[in-house]
């Protein structure tokens, strides 16, 4: 697999479009951190790491509005790709939908959102936009 993060986002996107309740993705440390951020920001209900002896699996419970069944995640967009990496400094961090969405960054201090990176004054690689 060339781009595991793009595969992670595509699995989430496809599960949301098919109105699935739970989606399983192969685990990695970056994917675990991204899932933790999505949970903290309220885009998913819950997640669980299942160790299967190999690399493990992350089970993600997707979040929908109780009455209208509209998903909490409207769009997931991969920004930095293996063929063209996108980096930004601490002063030029992006604002997604004027602050309504989040950008997930990989920094020297770990994976974090754009708001956390602004507070810690660090830049890094922009992994994806979520809104």
* pTM for the model: 0.93
Residues of CATH 3.30.1490.10 domain(s) within the chain? 76-130
Residue 1 has pLDDT above 90, yes or no: no
Q: What is the CATH number of domain 76-130?
A: 3.30.1490.10
Residue 123: what pLDDT? 97
Residues of CATH 3.30.1370.30 domain(s) within the chain? 4-62
4-62 has CATH 3.30.2350.10 classification? no
Token duo for residue 29 = 């440390």
Residue 95: what pLDDT? 94
Q: At what angle do helices 4-17 and 29-40 cross, to 10 degrees?
A: 40
Residues 6+ apart with CB under 8 A from 106: 30, 124, 125, 127
Residue 48: what pLDDT? 97
**pLDDT band at 89; cut points 50, 70, 90:** very high
Cβ contacts of 26-31, under 8 Å, gap ≥ 24: 26/55, 26/56, 26/57, 26/58, 27/55, 27/56, 27/57, 27/58, 28/4, 28/55, 30/4, 30/5, 30/106, 30/111, 30/127, 31/4, 31/5, 31/58
Helix (H) or strand (E) holding 39: helix 29-40
């Amino acid at each position: 697999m060339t781009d595991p993060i793009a595969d992670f986002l595509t699995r989430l996107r496809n599960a949301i479009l098919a109105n699935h309740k739970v989606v399983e993705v192969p685990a990695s440390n970056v994917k675990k951190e991204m899932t933790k951020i999505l949970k903290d920001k309220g885009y998913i209900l819950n997640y669980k790491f299942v160790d299967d002896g190999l690399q493990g699996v992350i089970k993600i419970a997707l979040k929908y509005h109780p009455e209208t069944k509209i998903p909490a995640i409207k769009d997931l967009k991969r920004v930095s790709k293996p063929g063209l990496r996108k980096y930004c400094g601490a002063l030029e961090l992006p604002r997604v939908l004027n602050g309504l969405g989040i950008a997930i960054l990989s920094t020297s201090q770990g994976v974090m959102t754009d708001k956390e990176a602004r507070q810690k004054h660090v830049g890094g690689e922009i992994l994806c936009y979520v809104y």
